[in-house]
Structures are given as C-alpha cells and as structure tokens.
Amino acid sequence: MALQLMTEKWSGEVSVVSIGATQEDKGTRSHILKIGGEKSLPCLFREGSLPNRPQIVFEVWDTLPLDWPDELTRGYKDVLGDPVKWAQMCVKEYKAQGICLRLQGAHQDFGNKSPEEEAQLIQKVLKSVRVPLIILGCGDDAKDNLLLPACSEAAKQERCLIGPATQDNYKTIVASVLADGHNIIAESPIDINIAKQLNVLISDMGLTLERIVMDPTIGALGYGLEYAYSIMERSRLAGLSGDKTLACPFICFVGQEAWRAKEAKVGPAEQGVIWEALTAIALVQAGANLLVMRHPKAIEKVGKYIDNLFER
C-alpha cells in the first residue's frame, strides 16, 4: 500500500500587496513587486498555492551611516552620503528590484532635515531609479507625523510602501497614504494582539487590509530570532485560519537587526555577511514576504536560496 502525504488545507489566505505603479497605473515604476497570496504555511508547496516568492530590497540612507562596520560600507564607499547615487548603484550594479529609503537624516540627532528637504529627495530618487520604493521615517513619532505626509505627497501615484505606522502615530500617516494611493507598514512590538489591534484601527480609517504590510519587529540570529519566528508563525496560522486582520504580508528589516549584533561587527570579514544571510533565510521559513537587507553579498546568497527553493 502506497503511503500518502498528509496535507492540511486552510480556509484563509494572505492578502496580496502590490508595491510600485507602472505607466498603466499612472506611475513611473518599471515593474511591480507583488507580495503575499499564500494559501499555505511557508515552504509547504504541496499543501497550497505560494504564488509570490519573497522579495529583497536594498536599504539606502539619506545621510552617512556612522555606526556601520567597515565590511558593510566597503561596497558603497563611493556613494555613502549621497542617497541618489547610492540608489543608482544598487539598481545598476547590484540589480536591486526595490529600494528602501530610510530618512534617518530627519531625526534631530542625525541632522534634523526638514520635511520639505526630504520630500525633494524622494522626488530625486524616484526620477533617478525606476524600481518600487519603500519610504521609512526617522523613528521619532512627532517628526514622522510631519515628515511622512510630505513624502507621501511627493511620491503621489507611485504606490510606495510607507511607514512605520504605530499605535501612537498611525492616524496622520494613514490619512496621507489614503489620499496619495500608497500602502502602509504597520509596526507592532513582537506582539500578535497589538498587531491585530493596529490593523483593525488602520482599516477602520478606510485603508483596506490589502494595503497593509505588517512589521513584527524581528530579532536577529542569536538576538531574539526564535521569539520573532514564533510570533510570525502564530500570526500566519491565524491568518490562514480565516482571521483577515492578521492575513497581511510581513516585512522584515533584516539588515538593521543583523548588523546590530556584535558577532556581525567583529571577527572575520564574512561573519557579518553570514549573520545577515542566516537571519534572512530563517525569516523566509517563518513567512517573511519582504526582506530589507544591507550587504550585497548577503542579498546575493539569500536571493539564490529563494530561487532554489521556488524552483524545486
């Protein structure tokens, strides 16, 4: 008697979020990044459809990153401090499919750039590269409430992914995203209940769940990765079981977390690259849909892993 593979079918599915608007959508992007759409748990290809593979985007700063180790800055040494050239290098030399522009220079401790300055930068980046764009605030809620609406308007009709929106600052950002046709990042502090509540609050303002990407604030390898994995797993189980408020794709800021680890900053040059790559691969298995990464070599390794996974 032949053995049969036991499979599990789910009543729900992860919503599909499209990032970037082409000419057909009245935008100027060369292509669209589609994430989500899973009808099964990660990597279980025989149990259900997994139509869109995880996507990787390069992280670019609007200011010179002072705390990045030499191994991380080596590949960008000629463009650090110039976000337009940095984004161009990522696309032309490293074949980036998307750019995540972190507006760290707007923070009062990193230059205190004005919303108007950052809005102008957004327009320059959109003109210099044609890939989909993710726009991140500076991390200060009060400043982001001024900063992100200005950047949202500057990128109108380009269907960017903008955030983070938190429990304390989501209203202003949601209103701007609604007005300008973008998607939003809903950030919650590794807590499934807060994540669900924030998604409900955002959708109550009129932004559909299909335009929300969840940031579960992951930890890196050796620094809370297991707990982040379990939270993502619980959220995905709930979403596939029919809870639409938790059936949103995940964005994971892998580079930010991995290069905080002391192991990534000391030891052999390749150690940081491996730390970032292993963190990303583990999160792909946890259900990550969008990975924001930093080192070109780590991105190459994870890209090959994803290609092999989906080819098989």
196 belongs to a structural domain? yes
* Containing structural domain, residue 69: 54-311
- What does the pLDDT read at residue 234? 96
pLDDT one-digit tens code per residue, 77-117? 899 989 999 999 999 999 999 999 999 999 999 999 999 99
Does some domain include residue 1?
Answer: no
Integer angstrom CA distances of residue 79 from 62, 89, 293, 294, 297? 11, 8, 17, 14, 17
Considering the chain, what percentage of its residues have pLDDT values greater than 90? 92
From 4-8, 31-35, 290-294, the region with the lowest mean pLDDT: 4-8
Q: Which of 195, 241, 243 has its CA nearest to residue 218?
A: 195
Is 92 inside a domain boundary?
Answer: yes
pLDDT above 80 for 312: no
Tell whether 296 is covered by a domain.
yes
List the one residue out of 305, 207, 279, 276 whose CA is nearest residue 248. Answer: 207
Question: For helices 170-180 and 192-204, what crossing angle results, to 10°?
Answer: 50
Number of residues that make up the chain: 312
Q: CB 43: neighbour CB atoms within 10 A?
A: 14
pTM, two decimal places: 0.96
pLDDT at 8: 86
Residue 44 inside a domain? The answer is no
Q: Say whether pLDDT at 245 is over 90.
A: yes
Q: What is the DSSP letter of 267?
A: S
pLDDT at 178: 97
| Cβ contact 235:270 at 8 Å | no
The number of folded domains in the chain is 1
Cα gap 212→202, rounded to integer Å: 8
The CATH number of the domain holding residue 201 is: 3.20.20.20
